[in-house]
Amino acid sequence: MSAPTSPTPDSKDKNARPLPEKLCGKRILITGGTGTTGQHLIQWLQSETDAEEIIVYSRDEQKHHDLQLNNGIDLSRVRSFIGDVRDIDQLKVAMSGVSLVFHTAAMKHVHLAEEHPIEAHKTNVLGTRNVIEAAIDCKVNRVISSSTDKAVDPINVYGNTKFMMELELMGADRENKDVTRFDIVRHGNLIGSRGSVIPLFIQQAKAGCMTLTYPAMTRFWIGKEELIDSFHRCLMESEGGEIHVPRSPACRIDVLATAIDAEADQEVLGIRAGEKKHEVLTSLHESSRLRDCGTHLVIRREPAVKDERGTAVEDDFQLRSDLEPQLEIAQMQLLLQSEGLSG
């Protein structure tokens, strides 16, 4: 299999979302790189940046195999590295000579985390601590981690582990800012991510019936380009110790199901353990540290004495999925189509 050629320097799209000058031509590692977010990051890095090498760190051998058979992957720049974030020694080997880490590895299925809380803690919390220690030991310049709306006011195991992950990263930035800078991109549900409800609904629609836990449930939805924009913006603009929150459209779950297939039946099962009716991307206690920049919000580790980005928010501000404008069926269909998804 021949690898596709990289974009030429005079390509129209070359460096549309480039790396910061300090990181140009450097080696980059993505934990959980064989997952959906990781693959979007790979596509961006290999097509729009001059990253020397993109190291894909993941414990899933089959996904590494599939990645290497993907004609869209430039194997001259993308390297598979089998390893688990629970293994700090392997992380240190993988991070040798790396300047930037995107940390996306996680145990993320809510119901499985409820059934196996210790395992979720080992990966999402202790695994993050390993990423932090390895990054500092290897003198990595930047670490940007992927978080979720479920980390805000958490009610389930998964949300609590991601909340702890955020605290670990903010503490690491405070204590080691002269060595490595740590930031977070906290976002809603990635459209089409592996194991999420949209692929499930599309599959169920073929059988004529979709299963909903609660029809009026609302969620934030983010597309792959908006997600990459968020990572890139955080990489370019963050001063360290920040949480960047992209504004994303919200939609009721029954509207989503109808947008996928209006003819399929909708069976209501009832809310599962650990499942929220609505999601929140910012909490009340973060309002004093939050700046509204229009397309996104920035949460600083500490209240800013002076911050020229965006505007301050009211003390009772929260970015909640049930309080945001809701997408209608036709709008949700257009969003699905833009991501290459349909029923």
Neighbours of 173 (CB within 10 A): 22
**Cβ–Cβ < 8 Å for 257, 266:** yes
Q: What is the pLDDT of residues 299-313, one digit of tens each?
A: 998 876 667 788 999
Distances (CA, A) of 34 to 37, 73, 182, 205: 8, 12, 22, 27
The label of the residue with tokens 């505007």 reads 311
**Count helices and strands in the chain by DSSP H and E runs:** 11, 15
Nearest residue to 235 (alpha-carbon basis) of 185, 190, 172: 185
Q: How far apart, in whole angstroms, are the C-alpha atoms of residue 18 and residue 181?
A: 19
d(CA 244, CA 225): 16
Name the amino acid, one letter, at 77. Answer: R
What one-character DSSP code corresponds to residue 202? H
3-state DSSP helix/strand/coil % of the chain, to nearest 5: 40, 20, 40
pLDDT tens for the chain, 343 residues long, are 333 333 433 444 555 899 999 999 999 999 999 999 999 999 999 999 999 999 999 999 999 999 999 999 999 999 999 999 999 999 999 999 999 999 999 999 888 999 999 999 999 999 999 999 999 999 999 999 999 999 999 999 999 999 999 999 999 999 987 899 999 999 999 998 877 899 999 999 999 999 999 999 999 999 999 999 999 999 999 989 999 999 999 999 999 999 999 999 999 999 988 889 999 999 999 999 999 999 999 999 887 666 778 899 999 999 999 999 999 999 999 999 998 886 5
Catalytic residue positions, numbered: 150
- What is the rounded CA–CA span in Å between residue 50 and residue 63? 25
End-to-end Cα spacing for the chain: 32
Cα–Cα distance for residue pair 208/213, rounded to 1 Å: 17
pLDDT tens-digit map of 46-98: 999 999 999 999 999 999 999 999 999 999 999 999 999 999 999 999 999 99
Q: Sketch the domain layout of the chain as residue ranges.
A: 22-188+221-247+280-313
How far is the C-alpha of 172 from the C-alpha of 121, rounded, in Å? 18
**Cβ pair 273, 111 in contact under 8 A:** yes
CATH classification of 22-188+221-247+280-313, choosing from 3.30.300.30, 3.20.110.10, 3.40.50.720, 3.90.1150.10? 3.40.50.720
Q: For the CA atoms of the chain, what is the radius of gyration?
A: 20
